[in-house]
A = this chain, B = another copy of it.
Amino acid sequence: MSRTLHLNVFIHGRGHHEAAWRHPRAGSAPLTDIGFYEQIAAIAERGRFDSVFFADHLAIGSEVRHAARGALEPLTLLAALARATEHIGLIATASSTYTEPYNLARQFASIDHISGGRAGWNIVTSWLKATSANFGDSAQLGHDERYDRAFEYLDVVTKLWDSWADDAHVDDRHSGTYVDADRVRAIRHSGRYYQVAGALNVPRSPQGRPLLVQAGSSDKGRQFAATYAEAVFTAHLEKATAVEFSTDLKARAAALGRDPGHVLVLPGLSPAIGSTEAEAAALWDELNALTVPEVGLGHLSARFGGADLSHLSLDERLSPGDLPDPANVEGAQSRAELIHRLVASERPTLRALLHKLAGGRGHYITAGTPEQIADVIEDWFRSGAADGFNVMPPILPAVLTDFVEQVVPILQRRGLFRREYTESTLRGHYGLSRPENRFFPAGR
């Protein structure tokens, strides 16, 4: 088969379950220890993963009392990992709202050089009030304006990445010409939100442009992804919504003239793996028993714009009316809608809902034997729900090791996943070509 599965590992604290840091299988390294991340990246590379990924939040709050927060900054972390790894792609989140485009463009270009073409940028527009309070407050924008700015931001950043022709650096000692200055271009961008003269002060990077990743799910977020994203992280609690999402996103990309096969959809998957299904499921119980309800409540409240949920009792069944209307929620609306739908269909107790969200924060969580996990993956992959998965191990690195040692070999035997790296760049792993330079097309 020509279509190949893609696997990214999402690195988050000591694991994606909110209480992972307390579990006996979790390591004890602090989240500021580069060795912890090097270990995870080495395991993922041994499993022939396409990439590792770091999310980011530009603020920290009281959740840190009970949740593993306060870690290394993602871009400096990627740069360090670039030298500790050989093959795996390196993706990090950075905010288009709170980083100057010139700074962001050059840091990612630089990481792409340092890693030999393995950098990817997960584009976020940042919507938390706590974040804007760390950046002068005035910058908090509405959902639509954040995306309007993000569209222009991407235009600026991709122009900067294209501001050097690939052959600009001639380095001719004899004639004294270091760079063919006719092959470096001032971008002279003057738009509604940004004025950037260019050129970038970093030559074009090995991938031409770092891989563009995105995770928005609102209408505007999908349109943005369809326009710019090459890989899309997405959260689904069931296959049906994942199919619907992927179908919609690829149709939007096609309508914009893009090859829908070049927009890879990677739903989150948080697996507990055991020698029996019951043993696997027990891991969720162990983890849930370690949760602190106020952490989960804080997250749930944040999902609904900071709504006060303190009147709800943990062990009574919820109905959708107990939660604010998602239409009024600023930020990750789609995540609020997903929770609403879940409450409507399952009528869980608040405690059960918090446990479900503690495991994967709205992503698909499952438990099973390695064969069962591989079955889920193959099913989603073959039915158009996924081009691959954003693997979110509930405990890190322990469950990633389980996945690499027990699930990956099954996927390889089934012919779904690579046995060896065959490409040297992140774009190569994802089957994507190197983008043509818009200012200096090939053969000119």
Interface residues, chain A, CB within 8 Å of chain B?
A: 19, 21-22, 28, 30, 32-34, 57-60, 62, 64-73, 75-80, 82-84, 98-100, 102-103, 106-107, 109-111, 113-114, 130, 133-138, 164, 169, 171, 173, 176-181, 184, 194-203, 205, 290, 292
Contacts and interface: CB of A to CB of B under 8 A. Distances in A.
A72 B34 contact: no
A334 to B, nearest CB: 25
A166 to B, nearest CB: 12
Contacts of A136: 194-196
A137 B189 CA distance: 11
B103 A98 contact: yes
Given A32-B202, A77-B114, A178 B65 contact: yes
A34 B178 contact: no
6 contacts: A58-B201, A66-B177, A76-B76, A76-B107, A80-B82, A134-B197
A76 B202 CA distance: 12
A194 B98 CA distance: 14
Given A100-B98, A201-B59, A114 B181 contact: no
A78 B197 CA distance: 27
Given A58-B102, A60-B199, 16 more contacts: A21-B171, A30-B169, A60-B201, A65-B177, A65-B179, A66-B176, A67-B178, A70-B179, A70-B203, A75-B79, A98-B102, A98-B103, A99-B100, A133-B196, A137-B195, A176-B292
Closest 4 CB pairs of A and B: A73-B110, A133-B197, A79-B79, A76-B79
